[in-house]
Amino acid sequence: MQFKALVVSEQADAQFARHVTAREIDDLPAGEVLVRVAYSSLNYKDALSASGNRGVTRSYPHTPGIDAAGVVEHSTNSAFAPGDEVLVTGYDLGMNTAGGFSQYIRVPAAWLIHRPAGLSLRESMLLGTAGLTAALCVAKLEQNGLSRQAGPVVVTGATGGVGSIAVALLSKLGYEVAAATGKPEQADFLRQLGAQQIVTRQDLQDGADKPMLKERWGGAVDTVGGDILFNVVKSLRYGSSVACCGLTAGIAFKASVLPFILRGVNLLGVDSVELPLTAKVAMWNRLAQQWKLENLDALAHEISLEALPEAIEQMLAGKVAGRFLIKL
């Protein structure tokens, strides 16, 4: 049986081409569960994989897509039966295992969860890895003492997938949200999501040469990394925390121990890829129930598989605000 998938292949000139191609079920990797994919979503990691980044994907040709939601077509594992609605985010999907930019995936049962009650397949992919990561960041901040009285919570990279959902979620939960962005033209979009103040990227870049900055933030979700991350650390209020989950601004920063020992602040790492399945299920259930966002469609542009190569180009060029939802 044939189906459509986005395939990234390496060319003779070391460039990478992206094409929607017909594939066979037998082309898929071995796995316990065959899923007919209904929706996927585009993440920055997918764009890196689709551009030939060997730190994400080692060998090509390859189908990216770290998110997928759909219906079980065949299963050799008793936990899943044909007709079950399921989703998978992370693990090796879309990295070195053929991913969700395809009408079919075949994966280990240990990667799958049943669709949470309260979310449709479409809504689950409006969130995807970005929504899961944003929720994990907020949960970790709350576990480390974040309170509504602590002051504004800044979100860096606020127009991106993780950032935009973090803005919406923090606002829903009653926090004062400061959205930091290098795209001032997206201020109305961020206010629509619930941001109460807009912070320029330059504002957060200033002061990288100083060991400490004025106390500003009661908490932070950082999706970009680099010197912006440590400038946020240096401007946290006493005892506050930043949850770190991204690297679009770089993996290195100038740092010192001073913010930690003088203000008692915390730098919290967040991973949504290899997170144990039980923890993923718990967070997805929270996103489907008490943390459910009602304005998810405001975050997303729904596109076809055929439109995906252009969307990847836009993401790599930094021209995307919100999320791309791919209907398969």
**115 DSSP 8-state letter:** P
Query: Would you state the structure tokens that stand for residue 120, as one six-digit string?
Result: 């449709």
> pLDDT tens, 137-162?
999 999 999 999 999 999 999 999 99
The DSSP bridge pattern shows strands 85-89 and 113-114 to be antiparallel
Return the pLDDT at 208: 87
From CA 108, how far away is CA 106, in angstroms rounded?
7
* 239: pLDDT strictly greater than 90: yes
* pLDDT value of residue 157: 95
296 vs 238: CA distance, rounded Å: 34
Q: Hey, what CATH topology would domain 2-115+295-327 get?
A: Quinone Oxidoreductase; Chain A, domain 1 (3.90.180)
**pLDDT, tens only, 152-193:** 999 999 999 999 999 999 999 999 999 999 999 999 999 999
Closest CA to 228 of 158, 281, 144, 170: 158
Range(s) within the chain of domains with CATH label 3.40.50.720: 130-269
Structural fold of domain 130-269: Rossmann fold (3.40.50)
188 by Cβ neighbours in 10 Å (0-12 / 13-18 / 19+) ranks as exposed
Predicted TM-score of the model (pTM): 0.95
Delimit the CATH 3.90.180.10 region(s) of the chain: 2-115+295-327
Cα separation values, 283 from 114, 216, 224, 286, Å = 13, 29, 22, 5
Question: pLDDT tens for residues 253-282?
Answer: 889 999 999 999 999 999 999 999 999 999
pLDDT tens per residue, range 77-119: 999 999 999 999 999 999 999 999 999 999 999 999 999 999 9
Query: pLDDT exceeding 70 applies to what percent of the chain?
Result: 100
Question: Considering the chain, what is the average pLDDT of its residues?
Answer: 96
User: How far, in Å, CA of 219 to CA of 205, rounded?
Assistant: 17
Query: From the CA atom positions of the chain, what is the Rg in Å?
Result: 20
**pLDDT tens, position by position, 288-312:** 999 999 888 888 899 999 999 999 9
- Percent of the chain at pLDDT exceeding 90: 92
